[in-house]
Amino acid sequence: MTMMSLCRLTALELAGKLCAGEVTQREAVEAASARIAATQGTLNTFITPDGPAFPAADLSASPLAGVPMAYKDNISTRGVKTTCASKILGDFQPPYDATAVERLSAAGAVSMGKLNMDEFAMGSTSETSWYGSVRNPWDTGRAAGGSSGGAAAAVAAGQVWYAIASDTGGSIRQPAAHCGVTGMKPTYGAVSRYGLIAYASSLDQLGPIARSAADCAAVLDVMMGGDPRDGTSLDIPAGKLLASLSGDLRGRRVGIPADCFGDGLDGEVSRAVLAAAEVLKGRGAQVETFALPAVRYAVPAYYIIACAEASSNLSRFDGVKYGWRAEGYGDLNDLYCATRTGGFGREVKRRILLGTFVLSAGYYDAYYKKALQVKAVIKRAFDEAFEKYDLLLTPVTPATAPRLGESLSDPLKMYLGDVYTVSVNLAGLPAASMPCGFDAQGLPIGAQLIGPALGEQAVLDGAHAFQLDTDYHRRMPEVTL
Amino acid sequence: MIWETVIGLETHVELATKTKIFCACTTAFGGDPNTHCCPVCTGMPGTLPVLNGKVVEFAARAGLALGCEITRYCRFDRKNYFYPDLPKAYQVSQLYLPIARNGAVPIPGGRTIRIHELHMEEDAGKLVHDPWRDQTRADYNRCGVPLIEIVTEPDFRTGNEVIAYLEKLRSTLQYLGVSDCKMQEGSLRCDVNLSVRPAGSVGLGTRTEMKNLSSFKAISRAIVYEARRQIELIEEGGRVVQETRRWDENKDATYAMRSKENAQDYRYFPDPDIPPLELPQSYLERLRAEQPEMAWEKAERYQRDYALSAYDTEMITAQKALADFFEAAVALGTDPKQCANWIMGEVLRALSERGMEPGDMALTPGTLSRLIALVQGGRLNRNTAVKVFDAVFDQNGDVDAYVKEHGLEQISDPGAVATAVEKAFGANPKSILDYKAGKEKAFGFLVGQVMRELHGRADPKAVNEAVRAGLDRC
């Protein structure tokens, strides 16, 4: 096979060829390296490329053993720079691996390095990175989405076969939608957060971005399961998602929240997502529309909670123990101010200030406490919906990928773009983003499938069924070099 | 005007768990800087806390013993502030739902001190300032050592009440085994909130908070000083400022550290990394059932069962290690009264001579029991026994071996005593005449001579009788 045709395979297809001896591990890594070398300059997907010269994974370790992949740069990798795309962690090398990294390494994952992202995962376009913007492989004048833009673009462009990313308010699903790949955010607590550098601890969750729902299932089988190092991880056994994957949706009830198809949704996106519902019907699902008004309050509640937690989580980056420290400071307070002023980018500072404000004496009840109440209302609304439905189908984004630079000037508009994804994090639910079409400009459109807590199988079954009858997820962009 | 002092205490106690509150690092005191820490307790990015169940258990035990209500559904909160000894820039503590509330501690004298709350939190590290190099260094060994903070209502009126409460608190926590409460190692630290008001008034005056109180003595003196300072200030037309003041032990005075008027906003919020705790009723019932006998309960029992004096029982139970020693010796069959006498006399003397704590003593209850048995069995006289005690105390030596090796066993053979009497009489005819002339002193001299003849090993009572009988015959 040519290198480029290797790059078009799914992770499971490549793993099959590795096992059959049709392709060597070294050829797979060289194909990835060559693709990265050819497209990195254009796409800026990697912060730290770090592929092995002599890959030697145990091919029997898991169904994905030996397949080259990469990690978002907020996931701790022992001895490998983990920057969160920030100047303040520019030289930080963790002395430990994240639990997910440990598990994937043991399963034979071959890391090609660390992927670009929005600084500290704060952003929806991967333009807030200290290391420059990620570009969308479908149109390099456009953003790849965020915050896991590097991960989605790398998988879309054929640089790696899958990537591990984090999702706090849509950071896996939204860039996956903008780049035409499949992404999955599991149930809160299903994957250990140990080693994920926190943005908003109560919402952060690790998950895969890949070229198919089946690939996502295979990755999640390795990552999921309780971890004694994360008190918020759920005591569940490692999954059997791939083995149980089924494209038969007979008897499955799919709800379409009418509130997700109102004002602000692009017509082409709306039509593509509703067309996806027809495909699911064709696989035996019963589809109906229902009302889910609670999601209207999700965006403000999300930004209050996420920023509040972020303001505390990011306090440790103070120039005292590790990372970048400003020079020429006077006293201790000056050291803190100069380091944090110079070390963080605009969007991160905006969110730290917002979070500090909503936790301040006199504002806590009006903002933070209120937001927690909204979170509880949203969770209840989803619980009620899942009494009637096995899956919910919504858009991932109101529109396809924006032009570079368009969003940064209007942060409020950028925040509102998260309307379909953030409620899922507030409710702690599993959800996948799957390619469901292209707009007139040839940009990918994503559809979101949401499941009940620990309903990963139902979500992946839905996406897998859809992908059995469509080929949007297999299309690859011609990257303009 | 007559003034009344109003005092409330905030006491931090390090819990005696083997490992830290959120990681597996040791809590051992000391150690080279930054050798008792890991990525979790130094707040490295991406690491997460995992709550040590022992900390919850110890805090709940303390809460129950202090008469508190236990919060069945409790939670940790983050207290956010920047300081180099706090690597995460927030301290995990409990603000909204502390583990225990509304307790009551009766103190000697009949008053009861109300406990406002007891909460769990993590300790911070230590900063070491090096003035020679103009550097500050951070030692994170203490980071994440579990603490409970016990906050009283402003129920104290005198320094004596404060000390009585602290002694009771220390004894309670030591008896529970949840803390060693060593002030010199910082495992018990106390901040004193103090205000004054005209006697008989109801409202509270403006308070100050005193820190750096490293001994009970320092606490007593600081209370006296600060009350007088506030009273003088007010009487001179001044106003007490709400502030934190530092006690300077060398100067016997408090100094303002920082004003509370521009207090920091700690932006407390529930820690999302630590799931809320639910303490089942059955768990609390088990802890309640396992609560050990406390010092004052032991003291009452000793008075009742062993007819010991109130003073003796208080001394023996003041430190758990001593009470344990006493009970172990009694369990070996030693007469409780004799045992108490030896502890009150020789054991406490030996400890104080060496500046030691009962817990650090090598002497075992078995050794003291054996010594007492030898005295009671007439094989050692009391004075010799004290010499043996001193000889075996430091190394817990073998009493029987020592007695044998040094030939100290009591001479109870009447023939040996009679021979010694004859010898003493023969050598001191003048003393016999003096005695006959009514000089009682001569009797004592002759007894002493006989004892010397017998190397002090005879039963003094037997010698007395033999000398008296001999003189009567002369």
> Are B43 and A321 inside 8 Å of each other by CB?
yes
Reply yes or no on whether the pLDDT at B332 is more than 60: yes
> Are B48 and A356 inside 8 Å of each other by CB?
no
Question: Of the listed A86, A111, A126, A147, which one is catalytic?
Answer: A147
Confidence of residue A325 (pLDDT cuts 50, 70, 90): very high
- Which among A316, A332, A359 has CB closest to B89? A316
Please give the tally of structural domains in chain A: 1
In this prediction, residues A409-427 reach a mean pLDDT of: 91
B358 compared with A457, residue with greater pLDDT: A457
Confidence of residue B428 (pLDDT cuts 50, 70, 90): confident
Residue A41 lies inside a defined structural domain of this protein: yes
Reply yes or no on whether the pLDDT at A238 is more than 70: yes
Confidence of residue A183 (pLDDT cuts 50, 70, 90): very high
A338 compared with A481, residue with greater pLDDT: A338
In this prediction, residues B383-392 reach a mean pLDDT of: 91
Residue A437 lies inside a defined structural domain of this protein: yes
Predicted pLDDT at B469: 85
Strand B3-14 and strand B146-152: the pairing is antiparallel
In this prediction, residues A272-291 reach a mean pLDDT of: 98
Yes or no: say if A182 and A210 are a contact pair by the CB < 8 Å rule: yes
Class of the CATH domain delimited by B414-473 = mainly alpha
In this prediction, residues A307-334 reach a mean pLDDT of: 95
* Averaged pLDDT score across all residues of chain A: 96
The rounded percent of chain A whose pLDDT value lies above 70 is 100
* Averaged pLDDT score across all residues of chain B: 92
Confidence of residue A118 (pLDDT cuts 50, 70, 90): very high
Confidence of residue B452 (pLDDT cuts 50, 70, 90): confident
| Least confident segment among A117-126, A408-417, B99-108, B329-338 | A408-417
Predicted pLDDT at A105: 97
Nearest alpha carbon to residue A7 among A190, A157, A169: A157
In this prediction, residues A97-114 reach a mean pLDDT of: 98
Predicted pLDDT at B259: 63
Confidence of residue B264 (pLDDT cuts 50, 70, 90): confident
Predicted pLDDT at A53: 87
Coil, strand, or helix at residue B207?
A: coil
The rounded percent of chain B whose pLDDT value lies above 90 is 70
User: Distances in Å between the alpha carbon of A478 and those of B331, B360, B378?
Assistant: 89, 78, 107
Reply yes or no on whether the pLDDT at B285 is more than 60: yes
- Three-class secondary structure assignment of A35-74: HHHHHHHHHCCEEEECCCCCCCCCCCCCCCCCCEEEEECC
Nearest alpha carbon to residue B190 among B165, B171, B172: B165
Annotation marks residue A171 as catalytic:
yes
Nearest alpha carbon to residue A126 among A79, A99, A97, A166: A166
Residue A27 lies inside a defined structural domain of this protein: yes
Residue A319 lies inside a defined structural domain of this protein: no
Predicted pLDDT at B176: 96
pTM, to two decimals: 0.89
> Are A82 and B45 inside 8 Å of each other by CB?
yes
User: Taking a contact as any Cβ pair under 8 Å apart, which residues of chain B between 91 and 150 contact chain A?
Assistant: 138
Number of H helices, E strands in chain B: 16, 16
> Are B46 and A195 inside 8 Å of each other by CB?
yes
In this prediction, residues A289-307 reach a mean pLDDT of: 96
Quote the CA–CA distance of A40 and A37 in Å, as a whole number: 6
Strand B146-152 and strand B112-122: the pairing is antiparallel
Domain ranges (residues) in chain B: 3-283, 293-405, 414-473
A450 Cβ partners below 8 Å, 6+ apart? A382, A391, A392, A393, A394, A424, A429, A430, A431, A459
Confidence of residue A157 (pLDDT cuts 50, 70, 90): very high
> Are B49 and A231 inside 8 Å of each other by CB?
yes
Confidence of residue B261 (pLDDT cuts 50, 70, 90): low
Quote the CA–CA distance of B40 and B295 in Å, as a whole number: 38
Reply yes or no on whether the pLDDT at B109 is more than 90: no
| Least confident segment among A379-383, B41-45, B254-258 | B254-258
- Which among A196, A336, A361 has CB closest to B46? A196
Yes or no: say if B343 and B325 are a contact pair by the CB < 8 Å rule: yes
Quote the CA–CA distance of B55 and A465 in Å, as a whole number: 49
Residue type, A126: S
The verdict on B275 touching A (C-beta cutoff 8 Å) is yes
Confidence of residue B108 (pLDDT cuts 50, 70, 90): confident
DSSP per-residue string spanning B26-58: B--S--STTSS--TTTTT-TT------HHHHHH
Domain containing A45 equals 3-295+374-474
Confidence of residue B467 (pLDDT cuts 50, 70, 90): confident
Give chain B positions within 8 Å (CB) of A195. Answer: 46-47
For A432-443, give one letter per residue: b (16+ CB within 10 A) or e: bbbbbbbbeeeb
> Are B46 and A360 inside 8 Å of each other by CB?
no
Reply yes or no on whether the pLDDT at B238 is more than 70: yes
- Which among A94, A228, A359 has CB closest to B44? A94
Burial, A197: exposed, middle or buried (Cβ in 10 Å; 0-12, 13-18, 19+)? Answer: buried
- The Cα of B53 is separated from the nearest Cα of chain A by a number of Å equal to 12
Predicted pLDDT at B260: 54
Question: Of the listed A76, A171, A233, A423, which one is catalytic?
Answer: A171
| Least confident segment among A106-115, A133-142, A232-241, B145-154 | A232-241
- Is the complex ipTM higher than 0.85? yes
Nearest alpha carbon to residue B249 among B224, B223, B213, B225: B213
User: Distances in Å between the alpha carbon of B99 and those of B67, B96, B121, B277?
Assistant: 13, 10, 11, 9
A-B contacts (CB, under 8 Å): 100
User: Distances in Å between the alpha carbon of A197 and those of A76, B195, B260?
Assistant: 7, 46, 35
Yes or no: say if A303 and A354 are a contact pair by the CB < 8 Å rule: yes
Predicted pLDDT at B235: 95
Q: At A91, which CATH number?
A: 3.90.1300.10
A155 compared with B130, residue with greater pLDDT: A155
Question: Tokens 């202090």 map to which residue?
Answer: B66
Give chain B positions within 8 Å (CB) of A348. Answer: none
Predicted pLDDT at B74: 92
In this prediction, residues B354-376 reach a mean pLDDT of: 91
In this prediction, residues B429-446 reach a mean pLDDT of: 86
> Are A195 and B265 inside 8 Å of each other by CB?
no
Predicted pLDDT at B382: 85
- Mutual orientation of helices B320-331 and B159-176 as an angle, nearest 10°? 50
The pair of three-digit structure tokens given for residue B426, joined into one six-digit string:
């023969």
Quote the CA–CA distance of B6 and B193 in Å, as a whole number: 8
Yes or no: say if B446 and B425 are a contact pair by the CB < 8 Å rule: yes
Question: Tokens 């403000």 map to which residue?
Answer: A300
In this prediction, residues B167-182 reach a mean pLDDT of: 93
The 10 Å Cβ neighbour count of residue B407 is 8
Annotation marks residue A72 as catalytic:
yes
In this prediction, residues A42-52 reach a mean pLDDT of: 96
Predicted pLDDT at B439: 85
- At B102, give phi and psi (nearest 5°): 55, 55
In this prediction, residues A232-244 reach a mean pLDDT of: 92
In this prediction, residues B209-237 reach a mean pLDDT of: 94
Confidence of residue B262 (pLDDT cuts 50, 70, 90): low
Q: Output the furthest CA–CA distance in chain B (Å, rounded).
A: 98
- CA B272 from chain centre, in angstroms, equals 38
